Amino acid sequence: MVVLVIPALLAGLTTLRAQSKAASEYEVKAAFLYNFAKFVEWPPGTFSDPKQPVCICVLGQDPFGHVLDDALPGKAIGARRVLLGRALQVDALAGCQIVFLSAAEGVRLKAVLARMRGRHVLLVGESEGFASAGGTIQFVLDQSRVRFVINPDAADRAGLKINSKLLALATIVHDSDRPAEARN
């Protein structure tokens, strides 16, 4: 059963790329945020019980407008409902498994990364160099299509396991401060 589900989910991610011109940039990004959660394994103890919701949070300025509010109600990942949260400060992100940081918030990326260290959080952003600076997934626009970059070093630090099928769809980068011989 699992073998059949993964190709279907990947087909959905590929379709999102193909439809990016028809949908707005933030509609596509909202769908990706939801779908990323399906391909990430959080470490034991991240959730207090098997039905605890997955919470997707936006930190700071929210470029989605109503898009996330419209896209997430009724969504679930397995037995877990998907909830939406918004916070202005990092301290208010307790209970968030996915945190989105907009390009406007990129100026405080180093401070956010420092505050998030040790937390089992998938940190997603859209500012230039986000992933190589230590974010986990970075959205990029390529010929008006939303694509993504994944930093496996950041995922490892957060204790997250990203499915190889999702990694295969992404551009892979490593921490910019990682020694060159360790990047291969």
Give phi and psi for 78, each to the nearest 5: 65, -130
Domain extent for 35: 2-182
**pLDDT tens digits for range 56-93:** 999 999 999 999 999 999 999 999 999 999 999 999 99
Q: What is the mean pLDDT of the chain?
A: 87
Tokens encoding 105: 């918030």
**pLDDT tens digits for range 13-49:** 544 444 434 579 999 999 999 999 999 999 999 999 9
If one counts the domains in the chain, the total is 1
pLDDT on residue 13: 53
Q: Measuring CA to CA, how many Å separate 178 from each of 30, 117, 135, 183?
A: 30, 17, 14, 7
Cα–Cα distance, 134 to 115 (Å, whole number): 12
Residue 135, classed as helix, strand or coil, is coil
Q: Measuring CA to CA, how many Å separate 75 from each of 38, 59, 143, 151, 155?
A: 12, 21, 30, 26, 24
pLDDT on residue 178: 62
Q: Is 60 left (phi over 0), alpha (psi -120 to 50) or beta?
A: left
Residue 151, classed as helix, strand or coil, is coil
pLDDT on residue 106: 85
The two beta strands, 171-172 and 145-150, are parallel
> Taking the alpha carbons of 53, 146, 139, 174 in that order, is the dihedral positive or negative?
positive
pLDDT on residue 21: 41
**pLDDT tens digits for range 93-133:** 999 999 999 999 988 999 999 999 889 999 999 999 999 99
Mean pLDDT over 148-162 rounds to 97
CATH code for the domain of 102:
3.40.50
> Taking the alpha carbons of 12, 13, 15, 19 in that order, is the dihedral positive or negative?
positive
User: In a 10 Å sphere around its CB, with 0-12 CB exposed, 13-18 middle and 19+ buried, how is residue 163 labelled?
Assistant: middle
